[in-house]
Amino acid sequence: SKVTMEKIVSLSKTRGFVFPGSEIYGGLANTWDYGPLGVELKNNVKKAWWKKFVQESKYNVGLDASILMNPQAWVASGHVGGFADPLMDCKACKARFRADKLIEDHFAKHGKEGVVDGWPHEQMEAYIRENHIKCPECGKADFTGIRQFNLMFKTFQGVTEDSSTQIYLRPETAQGIFVNFKNVQRASRKKVPFGIAQVGKSFRNEITPGNFTFRTREFEQMELEFFCAPGEDLEWFDYWKQYCLDWLKNLNMKDASIRSRDHAKEELSHYSNATTDIEFLFPFGWGELWGIADRTDFDLKAHMTHSGEDLRYVDPMTNEKYVPYCIEPSLGADRVTLAFLVDAYEEETLEDGSDRVVMKFHPALAPFKAAVFPLAKKLNDEAVKVFEMLSKEFMVDYDDSGSIGKRYRRHDEIGTPFCITFDFDSLEDGQVTVRDRDTMTQKRVPIAELIDLIRESQAF
Ligand code: ATP
Ligand 1 centre to CA of 37 (Å) is: 24
Q: Residue 343 above 80 pLDDT?
A: yes
Ligand 1 centre to CA of 414 (Å) is: 27
C-beta separation of 49 from 199 below 8 A: yes
* Residue 112 pLDDT grade (very low, low, confident, very high; cuts 50, 70, 90): confident
pLDDT in tens, 404-418: 999 999 999 999 999
Q: Is 335 annotated as a binding residue?
A: yes
pTM metric for this prediction:
0.88
Mean pLDDT in residue range 8-22: 98
pLDDT in tens, 157-172: 987 766 678 899 999 9
CA-based R_g, the chain, Å: 27
- Ligand 1 and 290: CB distance under 6 A: yes
User: CB within 8 A of 226, min separation 6: which ones?
Assistant: 59, 60, 193, 194, 195, 236, 240, 326, 327, 328, 329
- Ligand 1 and 204: CB distance under 6 A: yes
pLDDT in tens, 285-308: 999 999 999 999 999 999 999 999
Distance CA 89, CA 396 (A): 53
- Ligand 1 and 147: CB distance under 6 A: no
Which residues sit opposite 201 in a β-bridge?
220
The sign of the torsion formed by the CA atoms of 407, 411, 413, 418 equals negative
Q: Which fold has domain 368-457?
A: Rossmann fold (3.40.50)
Q: Is 332 annotated as a binding residue?
A: yes
pLDDT in tens, 415-434: 999 999 999 999 999 999 99
Q: Is 245 annotated as a binding residue?
A: no
* Residue 250 pLDDT grade (very low, low, confident, very high; cuts 50, 70, 90): very high
Closest CA to 251 of 391, 59, 52, 57: 52
C-beta separation of 153 from 168 below 8 A: yes
The sign of the torsion formed by the CA atoms of 333, 339, 343, 344 equals positive
pLDDT of residue 164: 76
User: CB within 8 A of 428, min separation 6: which ones?
Assistant: none
Residue nearest to atom 13 of ligand 1 (CA): 330
Q: In a mutational test of the pocket of ligand 1, which residue from 207, 260, 288, 294 has the highest number of ligand atoms less than 8 Å from its CB?
A: 288
C-beta separation of 148 from 121 below 8 A: yes
C-beta separation of 45 from 336 below 8 A: yes
Ligand 1 centre to CA of 93 (Å) is: 26
- Ligand 1 and 202: CB distance under 6 A: no
Closest CA to 222 of 273, 301, 278: 278
Phi and psi at residue 10, to the nearest 5°: -70, -45
Pick the CATH number of 5-77+155-342 from 3.40.50.300, 1.10.150.120, 3.30.930.10, 3.40.50.920: 3.30.930.10
pLDDT of residue 391: 98
Distance CA 417, CA 459 (A): 13
End-to-end CA distance of the chain: 29
Of all atoms in ligand 1, which is nearest to the CA of residue 215?
A: 28
pLDDT in tens, 373-385: 999 999 999 999 9
Closest CA to 194 of 105, 327, 77: 327
* Residue 83 pLDDT grade (very low, low, confident, very high; cuts 50, 70, 90): very low
Largest CA distance in the chain: 96
